[in-house]
């Protein structure tokens, strides 16, 4: 089982969502939602300080030993020197016990050597994949092979929709 995580912010509140699934699933097996009433302010270059506490609220609901990996919306490394971004910090907090895959929609200026660009569907816009605890080329291939015919795999699109929805 895999866990994909995302957070949506509204002023000082956040909605964290996790979806559990298998690599080839078209839809989540389970959805976990947590509302956080007070979140830290965004600090440029330190995004992980705002996001990590929200992600941990979802992870605490699970036995992570049962997970094959976690997918985050973002990067593992913020630069080519392997300084951790959100995914790397999460890996560290989880004591390097579970692989983390970062899936980003926009390029980052200083980490080109730590990502794999993949294209899905008919889109000419790549996804930027980074990984820790799993080989980068393996992670990129697994994201490329996820269910769906569009740039964003169905599971990750569903996660984004749930995270931004007011109905949950």
Percent of the chain predicted with pLDDT > 90? 86
CA distance 39 to 166: 18
Q: At 135, which CATH number?
A: 3.30.2170.10
pLDDT grade for 167, boundaries at 50, 70 and 90 = low
DSSP per residue, the chain: -EEEEEEEEETTEEEEEEEEE-TT-SS-SEEEEEEES--PPP-TT-HHHHHHHHHHHHHTTS-GGG-SEEEESS-SBSSTT--B-HHHHHHHHTTT-S-EEEEESS--TT-GGG-EEE--TT-SSPEEEEEESS-HHHHHHHHHTSS-SSSS-HHHHHHHHHHH-S--
- Is a pLDDT exceeding 70 seen at residue 7? yes
pLDDT band of residue 11 (cuts 50, 70, 90) is confident
What total of structural domains would you count in the chain?
Answer: 1
For residue range 35-87, what is the model confidence (pLDDT) as tens digits? 999 887 777 777 788 899 999 999 999 999 999 999 999 999 999 999 999 99
Q: Quick check: 30 pLDDT over 60?
A: yes
| pTM exceeds 0.85 | yes
Residue-range definition of the domain harbouring residue 125: 2-164
Q: What is the pLDDT of residue 41?
A: 77
């Amino acid at each position: 089982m895999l866990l994909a995580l995302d957070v949506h912010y509204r002023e000082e509140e956040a909605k964290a969502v996790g979806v559990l699934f298998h690599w080839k699933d078209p839809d989540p097996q389970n959805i976990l939602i947590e509302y956080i009433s007070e979140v830290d302010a965004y600090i440029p270059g330190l995004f992980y300080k705002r996001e990590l506490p929200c992600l941990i609220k979802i992870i605490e609901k699970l036995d992570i030993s049962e997970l094959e990996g976690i997918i985050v919306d973002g990067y593992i490394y913020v630069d080519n020197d392997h300084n951790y971004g959100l995914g790397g910090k999460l890996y560290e907090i989880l004591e390097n016990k579970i692989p983390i895959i970062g899936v980003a929609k926009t390029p980052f200026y200083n980490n080109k050597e730590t990502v794999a660009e993949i294209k899905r569907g008919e889109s000419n816009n790549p996804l930027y994949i980074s990984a820790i605890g799993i080989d980068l080329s393996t992670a990129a291939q697994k994201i490329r092979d996820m269910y769906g015919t569009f740039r964003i795999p169905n599971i990750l699109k569903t996660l984004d929709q749930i995270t931004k929805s007011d109905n949950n």
